Homo-oligomer: A and B are copies of this chain.
Amino acid sequence: MKRCAAQRPFALDVNTGPLGKTPEAEMRFFIEAAESVSDLPLLIDTSNPRAMRAGLEAAKNRVIINGFSLEPRKLELILPLAREFDADIVGFLLYPDSRVPKNEAERFEIALELMDRAEGAGVAGERVIIDPVVPPLAWTDGIAQARAVLNVIRTLPEVLGFAVRTIGGISNLGTGAGDKAKRRLLEQSYVAMLASAGLSFALMDILDPDLVPSARVSGILAREEIFSWAMVPGP
């Protein structure tokens, strides 16, 4: 985690994985470990509401709740924590049963519904960071889904009427890939497309020596106003 923090990402994602019998204590352990090496914001990445609350209570750094969806349990037990702890929260474009929407139109409907639910819980839409859920390309319609995700990122600010922030997990794309070199090539290209579509945050292995320079260069091309060769990170 120290090596991660040294790369100066925007934030660290604290993903505990499956928790045991004492989820609160386990989460506290992870939060303390992260904060002992870094003052970066922390994404608390768990679907366990008890662990989420324990993390929010324990954290001294700024936190982002990762995250909620239309799943009833998350609407009931996770979403209200964003108001209680005055935190940003990631909202996944998934159906209540965690199915992935089929196309762009369905994703827009879900995004509007997520924003309604957030506002209903006293959480301003501007606190919600939308995760359009990058699909594995190995799915039958993976490539159409990957393209739909790009279009959703590009169009969502217009649909919602404000400059909504978005987040995407890059590693999902290559799930099922046999070949590491091919996977790397696909991820590098797709991260550039995501940046160009306006993605705010890319969730990735900050120690990946190929993907991180690609993501940084793509971010410069997509977002910066001034360019100098010195800005481009060495690969």
Interface residues of A (CB under 8 A from B): 137-138, 142-144, 146-147, 150, 176-179, 181-182, 184-186, 188-190, 192-193, 195-197, 213-214, 217-218, 220-222, 224-227, 229, 232-235
Taking a contact as CB atoms under 8 Å apart, the answer to whether B150 and A196 are in contact is yes
Q: How far is the CB of A68 from chain B (nearest CB, A)?
A: 29
Q: For residue A143, which residue of chain B has the nearest CB?
A: B227
Classify the interface of chain A: helix, strand, loop or mixed.
helix
Q: For residue A182, which residue of chain B has the nearest CB?
A: B232
**Residue contacts A-B, CB under 8 angstroms, 14 given:** A138-B229, A143-B224, A144-B225, A182-B232, A182-B235, A185-B214, A185-B235, A186-B217, A189-B192, A189-B218, A190-B192, A192-B193, A192-B196, A193-B195
Query: How many chain copies?
Result: 2
Q: How far is the CB of A134 from chain B (nearest CB, A)?
A: 12
Given contacts A182-B235, A193-B218, 20 further A-B contacts (CB under 8 A): A138-B227, A142-B227, A143-B221, A144-B225, A147-B222, A177-B229, A178-B229, A179-B229, A179-B232, A181-B234, A182-B229, A185-B235, A188-B188, A189-B195, A189-B214, A189-B221, A192-B193, A192-B196, A193-B196, A193-B222
Q: How far is the CB of A43 from chain B (nearest CB, A)?
A: 25
**Top 4 closest pairs, chain A to chain B, by CB:** A192-B192, A193-B196, A189-B192, A143-B227
Taking a contact as CB atoms under 8 Å apart, the answer to whether B143 and A220 are in contact is yes
Taking a contact as CB atoms under 8 Å apart, the answer to whether A225 and B143 are in contact is yes
Taking a contact as CB atoms under 8 Å apart, the answer to whether A217 and B229 are in contact is no
Q: How far is the CB of A189 from chain B (nearest CB, A)?
A: 4
Q: For residue A190, which residue of chain B has the nearest CB?
A: B221
Report B-chain residues with C-beta under 8 Å of the C-beta of A217.
185-186, 189
Provide the bound-state CA to CA distance between A119 and B150, in Å.
Answer: 35
Taking a contact as CB atoms under 8 Å apart, the answer to whether A146 and B192 are in contact is no
Report B-chain residues with C-beta under 8 Å of the C-beta of A225.
143-144
Provide the bound-state CA to CA distance between A182 and B214, in Å.
Answer: 10
Provide the bound-state CA to CA distance between A194 and B33, in Å.
Answer: 42
Report B-chain residues with C-beta under 8 Å of the C-beta of A213.
185
Provide the bound-state CA to CA distance between A218 and B188, in Å.
Answer: 9
Q: How far is the CB of A145 from chain B (nearest CB, A)?
A: 10
Provide the bound-state CA to CA distance between A140 and B190, in Å.
Answer: 28
